[in-house]
């Protein structure tokens, strides 16, 4: 479910994505048309309020990945995952946060690409800060 603020954020980053989600099967809803219980009680029914779009996470992620990888200079190699996207402080570029690889081959490739991008060899590295999510399988999906 893409809530109102999420839709606004997505549209700011990737204009037109809402229409793509709906065209691919997402269902637009208005909170005025659904029974909505909030911290202050039941919201008024029948009064147009905020738009939501009901869609599966895999659908939204696929469309976001297609849009992001179509940007100039952006690629997402197989086996990699990006869990955050934002603008540079100047607003002129994009930042990918938490680039992860869910399997050994992808992790190895991620490190080699990072070394090459930074023009480093493995001998130049003193410390690797690695993490995993709090699940039995870590970052594996």
- Helix or strand run (H / E) with residue 114: helix 104-117
Look at residues 1, 113, 105 and name the one whose alpha carbon lies nearest to residue 50: 1
| Contacts with 111 (C-beta within 8 Å, 6 or more apart), sequence order | 128
Q: Which is higher by pLDDT, 35 or 89?
A: 35
The CA distance from 108 to 104, in Å, is 6
For the chain, what are the domain ranges? 1-57, 76-141
**Could you tell me the sign of the dihedral formed by the alpha carbons of 24, 25, 26, 31, in that order?**
positive
How far is the CA of 132 from the CAs of 42, 60, 81, 98, in angstroms? 40, 24, 13, 11
How high is the pLDDT of residue 16?
95
Token pair for residue 44?
Answer: 């008024």
| Contacts with 115 (C-beta within 8 Å, 6 or more apart), sequence order | 121, 122, 124, 125
Average pLDDT over residues 71-78: 76
| Residues 68, 14 contacting (CB under 8 angstroms) | yes
pTM above 0.85, yes or no: no
How high is the pLDDT of residue 115?
76
Token pair for residue 7?
Answer: 């839709």
pLDDT at 54 over 90: yes
| pLDDT digit string, tens, across residues 112-133 | 777 787 787 777 776 666 655 5
């Amino acid at each position: 479910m893409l809530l109102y603020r999420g839709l606004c954020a997505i549209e700011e980053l990737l204009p037109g994505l809402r229409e793509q989600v709906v065209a691919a099967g997402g269902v637009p809803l208005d909170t005025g048309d659904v029974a909505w219980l909030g911290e202050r009680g039941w919201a008024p029914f029948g009064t147009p309020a905020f738009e939501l779009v009901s869609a599966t996470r895999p659908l939204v992620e696929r469309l976001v990945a297609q849009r992001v990888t179509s940007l100039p200079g952006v690629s997402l190699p197989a086996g990699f995952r990006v869990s955050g996207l934002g603008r540079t402080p100047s607003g002129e570029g994009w930042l990918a946060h938490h680039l992860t690889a869910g399997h050994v081959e992808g992790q190895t490739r991620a490190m080699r690409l990072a070394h090459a991008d930074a023009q480093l060899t493995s001998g130049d590295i003193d410390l690797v800060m690695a993490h995993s999510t709090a699940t039995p399988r870590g970052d594996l999906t």
